[in-house]
Amino acid sequence: MRNRLALVALVATACLLAGVLLQCGPGRQARVTATPTKTLRPTFTPTSDATPTSIPSPTSFPTLSPTPAPPTAAPVVVTVAVTEVVPVTTPQPTATPTLRPPSATATRKPAATRTKTPTPKPTNTLAPPFAGKIVKGYARCDGYYAVTGFVTHANKSAYPGVSVGIWSDTWGGEVKVTEASGKFDVVLMGMPFGKYYVAVVEPGTCQLPSAVGCQRRSNVLEVTITEKCSGSGANQVAEVSFVGP
């Protein structure tokens, strides 16, 4: 391509030079006064016709090729393996029972003991001429507690003037003398509930008014006075009887 352009430029220059020479030659001869020397005409070497320059074919514009769209990024599929974690049940430690130190043993306070009055039981030097027995008991809820009874002869007549003693393990007791009807009563109101002893005694041997030291003239009867005042086993008044000669 460059060679062709250079050749065209060269031919054009040659043509331009030839034209200039043709225009300037005759004029210059007319002005010459001196006899001109025969001037040799320039010999023109026939120049081969210029090779027709091929018209350059129109430059083809580059065809805009559609730029391929960048490949769409394929979605990355992330496969997450889900492993089911089965919780392992950790066995809880078994609580070991802590042995407690032995509790302090409660020291029982000694119960207040009553000073027991020594009650010497009546001595039997003679065969008891009186025989005693328990007749029955009575329940009363009016606060009255007593031992009552009768002393009779063998023919069931009243036996007045007989001394009857009553005492307990913690009480020195009391001596009562039967009335004309042979009846006696020993009231125990204010005394503790529990067992009492009853017998015919010899009054001259007693430490009156208590029954301490009395000589017994009958068998000893044991009666119980209860706090319970109703129902089975209730007994606030005990009745006894003695039969003498």
Please spell the DSSP secondary structure of 160-214, one letter per residue.
Answer: TT-EEEEE-SS---EEEE--TTSEEEEE-TTSPSEEEEEEEEEGGGS-TTS-TTP
Instruction: Output the pTM of the full model.
Output: 0.49
Domain annotation covers residue 138: yes
Q: What are the b/e assignments for 21-53, b being 16+ CB within 10 Å? A: eeeeeeeeeeeeeeeeeeeeeeeeeeeeeeeee
Q: Mind listing the pLDDT tens digit for each residue in 107-164?
A: 565 555 555 555 555 554 555 899 999 999 999 999 999 999 999 999 999 999 999 9
In a domain, 53, yes or no: no
Assess if residue 146 is contained within a domain: yes
pLDDT tens-digit map of 168-200: 999 999 999 999 999 999 999 989 999 999 999
Span 20-34, mean pLDDT?
50
Q: Which residues fall within 8 angstroms of residue 152, CB to CB, at 6 or more apart? A: 158, 159, 182, 241, 242, 243, 244
Q: What is the pLDDT of residue 16?
A: 78
pLDDT confidence of residue 186 = 95
Say which residue, 208 or 153, is predicted with more confidence.
Answer: 153
Identify the three-state secondary structure at position 134.
Answer: strand
In a domain, 205, yes or no: yes
Task: Decide if 119 is inside a domain.
Answer: no
- Mean pLDDT, all residues of the chain: 75
- Residue 10 pLDDT level (bands cut at 50, 70, 90): confident
Q: Is residue 182 part of a domain?
A: yes
Instruction: Lowest mean pLDDT of 5-9, 97-101, 201-205, name the range.
Output: 97-101
pLDDT, tens digit, 9 for 90 and up, residues 32-65: 444 545 555 555 555 555 455 555 555 555 555 5
Q: What whole-number distance in Å separates Cα of residue 216 and Cα of residue 173?
A: 14
Q: Would residue 139 count as lying in a domain?
A: yes
Is residue 199 within 8 A of residue 219, CB to CB? The reply is yes
The count of structural domains within the chain is 1
| CATH number assigned to the domain comprising residue 155 | 2.60.40.10
pLDDT band at residue 30 under the 50/70/90 scheme: very low
* Two tokens, residue 3: 């060679």
The answer to whether position 72 is within a domain reads no
Q: Does 154 or 7 have the greater pLDDT score?
A: 154
pLDDT, one tens digit per residue, over 210-230 is 999 999 999 999 999 999 999
Query: Containing domain of residue 150, as a range?
Result: 131-244
Query: Residue 29 — very low, low, confident or very high, per pLDDT cuts 50/70/90?
Result: very low
pLDDT at 153 (0 to 100): 97
Do 156 and 238 touch, CB atoms closer than 8 A? Answer: no
